[in-house]
Amino acid sequence: MSDGSSTETLVAILRAEIAALTPGDRLPSSRDLIARHGVGPVTVSRAIALLAAEGVVVTRPGSGTYVAARRTPRGDTAPDTSWQAVALAGRDHDPGADRGAESAVADGASEPLPAGTITLSGGYLHENLQPTRALGAALARAARRPDAWHRAPAAGLAPLRAILARQAGSGVGPEDVLVTGGGQGALSLLFRAVSAPGSPVLVESPTYAGALAAARAAGLRPVPVPIDDDGVRPDLLADAFAMTGARLFYCQPTFHNPTGTVLATERRHQVVDVARAAGAFLIEDDFARHLGHGRPVPRPLVADDRDGTVVHLTSLTKPASPSLRIGALIARGPVMRRLQGMRLVDDFFIARPLQEAAVELLSTPAWDRHLRALATALRERCTVLADALARELPDWTLARSPAGGLHLWLRLPPTLTDTAVAEAARAHGVSVNAGRRHFPAEAPAAHLRLGFAAAADPADLATAARRLATAAHTLAPSG
């Protein structure tokens, strides 16, 4: 009998025997099969390999061969992924991780919205506010470059790094810039690079929900530091460093998300000094530098930092398009070398055509024209929504009329919860962000974050306010 026919015969015998066994039962050893069926070791190995390829058995080196779980026809029953509980054992699970996963989509579309829904959620510009014509032209010019598809340097294209360095301030050079795939990826990279899993990271409270998600995904423990109308309080920040031993503080000094706060001038140096005294890094998320409403924007903290305390983060996705996944980290000293090393491990480099397109876009007068028009449009939309809310929902408290950014931050009356309002609003054709996602710990009160840049037209914002009022009235206590 040939080896092939012996193998087929043994496979048929074993398949019949396995049918009478239970998943998890152990098959006889190879030595027993050789003796029982009068075949050679090669035949046994081939038979077991074929059965394993079919999913009939599972081999465990050093242990033996076992009957696999029964397969059912596709669609007859729900997939059984219970095995993953064992495979993932040993990976610590943060009780806040599920909440963090939801937070990760707080500035994007987590799921399709029903037709006719007015979008006050998310954190990107509507298509009619994006410089689509300039983006298309920049991408077309970039694609025609003879080296457009060559490998890009790990740190990013030199012209793009030079442009981003100039935007950050006179004290920053191209050698301090690492081009990243947008702001969220940069946050993830930073949290993994700077702090070990289990370490505390200080954050403003409230803060950007995506930062909380990235910190938790890196195994860090977000610790809240309250803010007031002038931003984070330096005295409370110093106390938090002293109590936790943290070596990292994440903040948004300019047009804070979600509150719109700008860190006061007298506090900007103080906050950096507190971090430096604690031997800690300060992550300056400067996502909204190009989202001002027409007033002068304060200098970035990194522009006046010479000791490498500040690690600066910026991005083009907010003022341009969600798909222009170009951002940058600005850092000095060993931390930059660590970030560059992690870049080589993670993804080597950012796609060159996208970087070339960013250079083209930022180098043309069309970019400056876009930013001026965008400032006017955002100021108008902010005013329309704030006025409509004051008219329709006078008992909702607006934290401030922001001078930049994409959101309004409202405190709800004590009788309402943010999640209930968000659900009712959706049922009435408005999507909003529940405020609790923005707090690293318990929220002191119920809030909503309402965006004014994702709606198709300013008139939709007034309509959204009326729908919100109707939704709130359905939740009002009776009697």
- Amino acid letter, residue 85: A
The Cα–Cα gap between 341 and 108 comes to: 29
Question: Is 3.90.1150.10 the CATH classification of the domain at 113-127+367-475?
Answer: yes
| Domain residue limits, the chain | 3-67, 113-127+367-475, 131-364
Topology of the domain covering 3-67: Arc Repressor Mutant, subunit A (1.10.10)
Omega into 131 within 30° of 0, i.e. cis? Answer: no
Rounded to two decimals, the pTM is 0.79
The number of residues in the chain equals 479
Do domains 3-67 and 131-364 share one topology? The answer is: no
3-state SS of the chain is CCHHHHHHHHHHHHHHHHHCCCCCCECCCHHHHHHHHCCCHHHHHHHHHHHHHHCCEEEECCCEEEECCCCCCCCCCCCCCCCHHHHCCCCCCCCCHHHHHHHCCCCCCCCCCCCCCEECCCCCCCHHHCCHHHHHHHHHHHHCCCCCCCCCCCCCCHHHHHHHHHHHCCCCCHHHEEEECHHHHHHHHHHHHHCCCCCEEEEEECCCHHHHHHHHHCCCEEEEEEEECCEECHHHHHHHHHHHCCCEEEECCCCCCCCCCCCCHHHHHHHHHHHHHCCCEEEEECCCCCCECCCCCCCCHHHHCCCCCEEEEEECCCCCCCCCCCEEEECCCHHHHHHHHHHHHHCCCCCHHHHHHHHHHHCCHHHHHHHHHHHHHHHHHHHHHHHHHHHHCCCCEECCCCCECCEEEEECCCCCCHHHHHHHHHHCCEECEEHHHHCCCCCCCCEEEEECCCCCCHHHHHHHHHHHHHHHHHHCCCC
pLDDT 10s digits, 342-394: 888 888 888 899 999 999 999 999 999 999 999 999 999 999 999 999 999 99
**pLDDT at residue 320 in the model:** 93
Contacts of 226 by beta carbon, 8 Å cutoff, 6+ apart: 204, 205, 232, 233, 236
* CATH of region 131-364: 3.40.640.10
Could you list the pLDDT tens digit for every one of the 479 residues in the chain?
455 678 889 999 999 998 888 888 899 999 999 999 989 888 998 998 888 888 888 888 778 898 888 765 555 556 666 666 666 666 555 544 444 444 444 565 556 778 889 999 988 999 999 999 999 999 999 988 888 888 888 888 899 999 999 988 878 888 999 998 888 888 988 999 888 899 999 999 999 999 999 999 999 999 999 999 999 999 999 999 999 999 999 999 999 999 999 999 999 999 999 999 999 999 999 999 999 999 999 999 998 888 889 999 999 999 999 988 999 999 988 888 888 888 888 888 888 999 999 999 999 999 999 999 999 999 999 999 999 999 999 999 998 899 999 999 999 999 999 999 999 999 999 999 999 999 998 888 999 999 999 999 999 999 999 999 999 999 876 54
Task: Write down the pLDDT at residue 274.
Answer: 95
Determine the pLDDT at residue 242.
94
